Structure 1
Amino acid sequence: MIDALAVFDIGKTNIKLSLVDAQGHELAVRRRANEVVQGGFYPHHDVDAIEAWLLSTLSELAQQAYISAIVPVTHGATAALVDEHGLVLPIADYEQSFRTSSPSPEYEALRPAFDHTFSPSLGLGLNLGRQLYWLQQTYPETFGRAHRLLMYPQYWAWRLCGVAAAEVTSLGCHTDLWQPSDGTYSSIVASCGWTQLMPSLHPAWAELGCLHPHLVRQTGLPSDCRILCGIHDSNASLLRYLDRSDNGPRVVLSTGTWLIAAALDGGLDCLREQSDMLANVNARGEAVACMRFMGGREFAELAGSTPHVCNEADLQALVDSQSMALPCFSGCGGPFAGRQGHISGSVPETAAGRYALATLYCVLMTEYCLEHLQASGPVVVEGSFTANPYFAPLLAATSGGREVFCSEDGSGTTMGGWILRHWREHPHGAALPAPKAVAPLRLRGWESYRQAWRHAVTPLLRNEDIPFF
């Protein structure tokens, strides 16, 4: 039976389990929606249902291959408080308010300065520290029973093998908890008494242990199935580009619910907290300048519940009529957070027209992020937007001669998981196919459309004190 890796990928919108062979080929993929439970203490992730689906799906896939390892890959801004038995509180969904009315010091007074953590002050629960502070103030006795604080990938590794670990990509993902320049926890961890909750640090590719014996019996997986520490999802997409010495991509667009532009060679001086610019931390512990917006969520809002792929004529019609979407269309994050999005000009009446409008919007928002990141070098599109036939070509026509590439595997997170499993042989994905260069799509009047969109959004940025929501 063929040897394979299982990549357990929890995105904010969807969950995926992929079976990948030793050469990086996907053998099988299973998906389900990632639904949030609205009842109980507060909106939270349904980890019991996720775990039941994971184990059932592993049992099915174990009939197809010898699954020798599992690597968890998850979205950020999410963590678990556990004791020796399991969760002491539900794992909170970050898309809710975490403001406390207690008389204790306000969170903003406790969080470190931006130039220490490079975590912007965000609304809802996008700063993980804000979530933890709220939980501690709201449920002090229950919070006090926790033995460990686990980032979301490491929670799943712990559930599978029983070893508690910490890892820098999730710790450094706009949490307020990590100081990248020193490679240490920030001051808020000690100030709030969380230091003793933190497990020892391990690299994302570390093998923490073998699958629990009772899970071996339940799933039929081999007893020597290894559980890797795991990684934050957009950082999984970066792995294959970290050490490219050729003329390949140096700016990575990780696309899914969020579109995150990461400048691998960029400095941190360009980062502006008010614009939701930040430094994520890559698997080697290095700060990476990033800017993002909720690209997948906003695309879905604009394209509608039953998206229909457009054609070039649909795009051209919107450019000709100067119909454009102006930010923003999500509840949180991005440089225009807190603004109510609207459509300027005629509203497309067809599903294809709405898909075209969503595509134009996401291309222009991406260009905006790249410009403000001062990101140089070729760009590669990873993740769900690789399935859009016009996103990368339009971006190539927008980027002033910058080369744009498109990953052919369609899932940077899955291939990132494969790289972690084969870190010693192929530490940066050298064995994987190189992404393909994209030819620009040049629409008539595109330049004037771009300038009109930029002119329309400029007034939205005049008040720099607008909070993030």
Structure 2
Amino acid sequence: MKKTPVIVIFDVGKTNKKLLLFDEQYQLIFERTARFNETTDEDGDPCENLESLRLSVFDSLREVFKKKDVEVKAINCSTYGASFVYIDEEGRPLTPLYNYLKQYPAALQQNFYHQYGGEDLLSVQMSSPVLGSLNSGMQLYRLKYEQPAIFQATRYALHLPQYMSYLLTGVPASDITSIGCHTNLWNFQENKYHHWVYQEGIYEKLAPIMPAAQVLPPLFPGNTYQIGTGLHDSSAALIPYLVCFHEPFILLSTGTWCISLNPFNHTPLTAAELRQDCLCYMTYQGNPVKASRLFAGYEHEQQMKRIAAHFGQATLKYRHMEYDPTLPLKPAGIFAERDLHQFSTDTAAYHQLLFDLAAQQYQATRLVMNDNSVKRIFVDGGFSKNQIYMNMLAMLFTGVEVFAASMAQATAMGAALAIHNAWNSKNIPNGIIELKYYAGGLPIMAE
């Protein structure tokens, strides 16, 4: 039997942990999803079960290697960001995998910003708002001052994607997509680590930076497959678009957070933009990506439940509701503040909710557009499947083509594409992204 050459991707989200196999045409040929129960850290705060994650990597690979019909050419991984694994000289984790939502001590944060120039200056230099533990470099700063013995014993602090790579290669690495994702470690103005990283002795704890296309041999000799160094998930999801489209575009990645990513906007972030929740990510080639965030997916869920309860409907009704362009809309506002008695039907209320969210999204996305060079917006994730939302967005962005983009597992595919040359003998195929164009019409505004 002729074996199919494949790449194995571990795609680790906060909720779902996936193992995926792609063939050389980037067709998804196998997928397994697992969920692990969270454990708690020493303060009783919820955190990832690192041991379950480690064991699942080896267990699931054993399963893959048993398959008679595939030949593993490479392995790579993408995971959520802002999470460090602190390992000792032997490679053993020294602490739990602290949750990036863990409360950050106010006094310690104040000390840091006071010592190194203040929130506004540092936020501009490091291209990130003040986000507490979500600035993962601040977790290292905290470890140094709250657990000095563990900090001392730490040989390397590895971001989670690089820890997963380390499990398979034994080679510690840092990756620019993880370092460049609101970590407070990188000075975007000088394109190097910020001087506080050296001053606090953090630099010695960070592994050498390796390119995203770098592959390493496996820890276990006698195997011929190659292993990537891992990627931050938001940056990985952008890779298929960067590979397939060369004219300026914005990727609007929608989920709980809706993130507008503009890889073609190279103007430095301003303090005003940072105060409006803009930040920079980093592409796998090491270029800054200006981005804005909106908590719109979460808001959609909450308000959809409110509409359903008010009108005595099931929320499932709204998942595939068709767009009705004849329904009058009120001027955009904050839907949470609207009185639902103003709406005669739940359909009218739901259309208004989507219009209000699309209007907020328009403002957030405009923050990173800057000039008129962007002529296309690709929407992926949950909202791309909502035809009411897509029509509302297309209506607001006049002069810009708005597309719903669909692709099997964008994050995992990005991790596979990052090391394409190391495992795939074929050219990257056309058509890995499906696009659906939305033409915007003028809304009927209610009096």
TM over 0.5: yes
Instruction: Quote the residue 1:374 is aligned against.
Output: 369
- Find the counterpart in structure 1 of residue 84 from structure 2: 79
- Structure 2: distance between partners of 1:326 and 1:385: 18
Instruction: Spell out the pairing of 1:18-33 with structure 2 (5 A cutoff).
Output: 18-33=20-35
Residue 87 of structure 1 aligns to a residue in which SS? coil
1:70-118 C-alpha deviation (Å, 9 max, x unpaired): 211112211211112421111111112111556x971222456233221
1:233 aligns with 2:233: yes
TM-score for the superposition, normalised by structure 1: 0.78
Distance 2:356 2:252 in 1: 16
* Distance (whole Å) between structure 2 residues aligned to residue 428 and residue 377 of structure 1: 27
CA distance in 1 between counterparts of 2:27 and 2:389 reads 25
Q: Secondary structure at the match of 1:203?
A: coil
> Secondary structure of 1:3's match?
strand
Q: Which amino acid aligns with 2:79?
A: T
Bigger mean CA deviation after superposition, 353-362 or 110-119:
353-362
Change (3 A) 1:97 1:380: same
The TM-score, its normalising length taken from structure 2, stands at 0.82
User: Amino acid of the residue matched to residue 25 of structure 1?
Assistant: Q
Give the letter for the 1:75 counterpart.
Y
Which residue is equivalent to 2:49?
A: 46
**8 Å contact kept, 1:18–1:29:** yes
Q: Which residue in 2 is equivalent to 1:119?
A: 128
Aligned to 1:335: none
Q: Structure 1 311/204 Cα, relative in aligned 2: closer, same or farther at 3 Å? A: closer
> Which digits, 9 at most, give the CA deviation of each residue in 1:344-374, with x for residues without a partner?
1218999989976765454333212111223
Change in CA separation of 1:361 and 1:49 when aligned onto 2, cut-off 3 Å: farther
For the residues of structure 2 that align with 1:318 and 1:270, how far apart are their CA atoms? Answer: 40
Matches within 5 A, 1:324-403: 326=334, 342-346=336-340, 359-360=354-355, 362-375=357-370, 376-403=374-401
What is the aligned-residue RMSD (CA, Å)?
3.5
Q: Does 1:96 align with 2:96?
A: no
Cα deviation, 1:134-155, whole Å, max 9, x if unaligned, reads 2222211122210001112101
Q: CA deviation at 1:432?
A: 4.6
Match of 2:19 in 1: 17
Residue pair 2:41, 2:98 contacting (<8 A) in 1 also: no
Name the aligned partner's letter for residue 260 of structure 2: A
Any conservation in 1 of the 2:266–2:288 contact (CA below 8 Å)? no
- Residue of structure 1 equivalent to 2:420: 422
Aligned residue pairs, count: 423
What's the CA shift for 1:274? Answer: 0.7
1:130 alignment partner in structure 2? 138
Name 2:311's counterpart in structure 1. Answer: none
- Give the Å deviation of 1:185: 0.7
Match of 2:39 among 28, 37, 48: 37
Deviation at 1:207, TM superposition (A): 0.8
Residues 312/426 of structure 1: CA separation in 2 closer, same or farther (3 Å cut): same
Residue aligning to 2:75: 70
1:28 and 1:352 map into 2 onto residues whose CA distance is: 39
Q: Deviations over 1:358-411 (max 9, x none)?
A: 654543332121112235321112334434344433322221131012323143
Q: Which has the larger radius of gyration?
A: 2
Tell me, yes or no, if the aligned pair for 1:324 and 1:345 is still in contact at 8 Å.
no
1:151 match: 159
Distance 2:348 2:214 in 1: 47
Query: Do the aligned residues in 2 keep the contact of 1:310 with 1:356 (CA within 8 Å)?
Result: no
Number of the residue aligned with 1:175: 183
Once residues 358 and 56 of structure 1 are traced to their aligned partners in structure 2, the CA distance between those partners, rounded to angstroms, is: 45
Query: 1:428: how far off?
Result: 10
Which stretch of the first structure deviates more once superposed, 270-279 or 420-429? 420-429
- Deviations along 1:3-26, one digit per CA (max 9) or x if unpaired, are 111221122333222211111111
Instruction: Check 1:100–1:162 CA distance in 2 against 1; reply closer, same or farther (3 A cut).
Output: farther
AA of the residue aligned to 2:50: V
Structure 2 residue runs without a partner (length 5+): 309-313
Residues 14/365 of structure 1: CA separation in 2 closer, same or farther (3 Å cut): farther
> For 1:125, what is the secondary structure of its paired residue?
helix
| TM-aligned CA deviation for residue 308 of structure 1 | 1.9
Q: Cα offset for 1:419?
A: 0.8
**Secondary structure at the residue paired with 2:134?**
coil
* 1:382–1:411 Cα contact (<8 Å) kept: no
Alignment partners' CA distance in 1, 2:353 and 2:178: 30
Separation (CA, whole Å) in 2 of partners of 1:81 and 1:414: 25
Quote the Cα distance in structure 1 between the aligned partners of 2:212 and 2:277.
Answer: 26
Show the counterpart of 1:273.
274
Query: Residue 363 of structure 2: SS of its match in structure 1?
Result: helix
Contact 2:113 2:122 in 1 (8 A): no
- Name 1:219's counterpart in structure 2: none
Q: For 1:28 and 1:356, locate their aligned partners in 2 and report how far apart those are by CA, in whole Å.
A: 38
Q: Could you tell me the percent identity over the aligned residues?
A: 24
Instruction: Give the aligned partner of residue 56 of structure 1.
Output: 59
Does structure 1 retain, via aligned residues, the 8 Å contact 2:173–2:229?
yes
Query: What is the rounded CA distance, in whole Å, between the counterparts of 2:419 and 2:54 in structure 1?
Result: 22
- 2: CA distance, partners of 1:34 / 1:369: 34
Q: Decide whether aligned partners of structure 1 residues 427 and 225 sit closer, same or farther in structure 2, where only a CA change above 3 A counts.
A: closer
Give the aligned residue type for 1:59: R
- 1:225 to partner: Cα distance: 3.2
Per-residue deviation at 1:57?
A: 3.3
**What amino acid is the match of 1:48?**
E
Residues 396-415 of structure 1 aligned to structure 2 (within 5 Å): 396-415=394-413
Counterpart code for 1:345: D
- Counterpart code for 1:118: S
Rate the CA distance shift 1:161–1:45 in 2: closer, same or farther, 3 A.
same
Range that drifts further, 190-199 or 305-314: 305-314
Distance 2:8 2:353 in 1: 33
**Contact in 1 for aligned 2:86/2:157 (Cα 8 Å):** yes
> Which residue number in structure 2 is paired with residue 196 of structure 1?
204
